[in-house]
Structure 1
């Protein structure tokens, strides 16, 4: 009712129709299940009343004609009064019979408890059940759905629609909106917990040592590690140059207390010079023996990672220790926030790589669906299978929705609403019954007179 009140014109506006609509709002309260007898229904019901008056007026007119014809007969008139009386009498019978039939659909004629009357109010639930069964058997069968979808040609139409740049832009925008909405409603704590648990479980289940060993062997074979060695040697040389006093202080600080200070100083200088010479040679000589030792160590280590059980076990223990650290878990969990921010920003930017690639993919799919018969057939088959699965799996639930909805309707309101929508046509049945009855009576009377003559 609030909706009708909101749409109702102000006082003094809208004319008689608005006044009738205002009065109709108070006809009936809403029924359970959202089924309401609205102002529009009341206006339709007014039209039904006018048609009822017309049909009843025709009945009264026929009754008056019959009375006049019978009066003419009793007055001694012969010939045409008999034909008119027979036609009028049959017209009254037809009108009354059709009035009874139409009235019996919605209420008991004259309030009499005649069997099989007031069909809609008393049989509403059975009608709802029959309607649900009818829909389930004739509209929700797998074969009907498959034939209907096959005739529609969704794959071809969808391909042609997606191949239009404007439509591809629209689909891309809608997908971006849906993606942003989905990422917005997700709780960060929940997703982070799931992501962290999934990554941790996956890492714990997979043994990483053999893979690391294989990768390390390939790197050593290709010489990829040499750049790292070059960097380490260069940094070591630069560090020694910049921290000569620190190196000598460390050497002299570890000397015995009974040695003279100048001896400790000489030893420290000697050690520092040797370290600096070694770092310089390592930096400048690609074929230095120490570099070869590094190559051999890495080669042996890569082999141990693949085949030595003790080495592999140590790597697994180290992996577990690293994964168990709070800092690592926080890092894993925080990846979701970074990923979400990146995806949301890309979805909002119309020129982002994500949206441009999505648009290109949609256009490409539309073009392929328009040109490739096999692809269209596959898509049509998938859609048909999906639709058939839905209607066959949930057919009972769909028909139950119809049955329960009809059962929740108020019987009186249901009867009034249905009568408001189809009552005009039903009153034409009464009118037709009057006319057809009169013609039939005239024909029968004429035939009997001809036979009697």
Structure 2
């Protein structure tokens, strides 16, 4: 079964005001009808009890009688729209209640035929000059800031609404698993080989040699300590100092020569090592297997297992903070983008024309392809409204105007009755 929908209505305060207003106008229309009936009865009794009653009594009686008939007829018509008059199930009464679904279908069809027509919508959209108005609006800094503010709020809400488990799974599938799936050795070897061919390993080699030279300059105490720990017990200490000083000076001299001489053999040895490493990473099965073992250990470590959660926690927090901070680069970029696009729409007629063509084309596409779905929403929504509640809300919306029909029926009926009675008296007078 279809779940019933609550019928939309005004706020409780407005609804209470309208109910009081409807009750007041119902009382006024009913009071006028009762007044016409009382006048008719009074005139009827007066004429019946007074043989020579004045002529004007007949005119008043005729007006009151016709007004009473007109008021009763319109009361029946208005009441029959929403309920059974006096509770009598007369055919073609309680129309809104009994024909609610058909009314919904008719309303949906009317909207579809008259408002969701592709030609009409395209004309209206084109005449609205959406691109020009949008460009003028966006080119104002205040409005661009509004766009940035609302976009930031939306982005922050979207990020907050995402399930961390889903986001972490996406990071794991899209980053961690893809990083772990291929072999590491051959790609690393090709990358190292390309870097060497392009000369991009030279700064690394230079930095390594500079680091070794700096370390050698501060290694004297370390050398002496190592030699002291390993010298025989019988060896004199001054021998250890002489040897340590010699080793230190030779080490400093050697690293200094390597640093100064761009063609030093040590540099060439490092390059040969890197070249051999690049080839082994690509073609040596043992090296490839060793790298795969390292990869397996790295990817199976606790740090990598926890990486998706940490990445998402940091990224989401940074994104929310940037989205809500009006001074952030993200918000400033959104503002600048809005201003730029707005000014381009203002200055570029061709861009406006292209955008207008897209907007009108989209509107026509929606009208041509989804008009039936929209009208079905209207008819299905009306069908799901509870009949009694729908009748009550509809009467509340239009009941006041319908009471004017009752008032007009009584007044117009009185005037018509008076006119008919007057014409008949004139005819009888001249016969």
Using the size of structure 2 for normalisation, the TM-score is 0.74
Per-residue Cα deviation, 1:209-249 (whole angstroms, up to 9, x for no partner) = 66545543453344332222222223223434444575688
1:21 counterpart residue number: none
Report if the CA contact (8 A) 2:104-2:378 is conserved: no
1:144 offset after TM fit, Å? Answer: 5.0
Matches within 5 A, 1:23-422: 33=6, 38-53=15-30, 55-56=32-33, 59-60=36-37, 63=40, 67=44, 93-140=69-116, 144-186=120-162, 188=164, 190-205=166-181, 212-213=188-189, 215-243=191-219, 277-299=253-275, 301-302=277-278, 308=283, 310=285, 318-383=294-359, 385=362, 388=366, 391-392=370-371, 394-395=373-374, 398-400=377-379, 402-407=381-386, 409-410=388-389, 413-414=392-393, 417-418=396-397, 420-422=399-401
Could you tell me whether the CA contact under 8 Å between 2:70 and 2:412 is conserved in 1?
yes
SS at 1:219 equivalent:
helix
- Contact 1:196/1:332 (<8 A) preserved: yes
Structure 1, unaligned runs of 5 or more: 1-30
Aligned-residue CA RMSD in angstroms? 4.7
CA contact under 8 A between 1:33 and 1:408: conserved in structure 2?
Answer: no
Q: Secondary structure at the match of 1:115?
A: coil
CA distance in 2, matches of 1:367, 1:411: 49
Deviates more, 1:230-239 or 1:66-75: 66-75
The superposition leaves residues 244-282 of structure 1 with CA deviations (integer Å, 9 ceiling, x where unpaired) of 575688789899x9xx968x9799988777655543322
**Count of matched residue pairs:** 417
2: CA distance between counterparts of 1:105 and 1:290? 104
CA distance, structure 2, for counterparts of residue 295 and residue 70 of structure 1: 133
SS at match of 1:33: coil
Specify whether residues 406 and 34 from structure 1 end up closer, same or farther in structure 2 by C-alpha distance, changes over 3 A only: closer
Tell me the distance in 1 between the aligned counterparts of 2:30 and 2:20.
16
Cα gap change, 1:165 to 1:269, in 2 (>3 Å): closer
Deviation at 1:421, TM superposition (A): 3.8
Q: TM-score of the superposition, structure 1-length normalised?
A: 0.71
C-alpha deviation, 1:65, in angstroms? 9.5
Structure showing greater relative contact order (alpha-carbon pairs closer than 8 Å, 6 or more residues apart) = 2
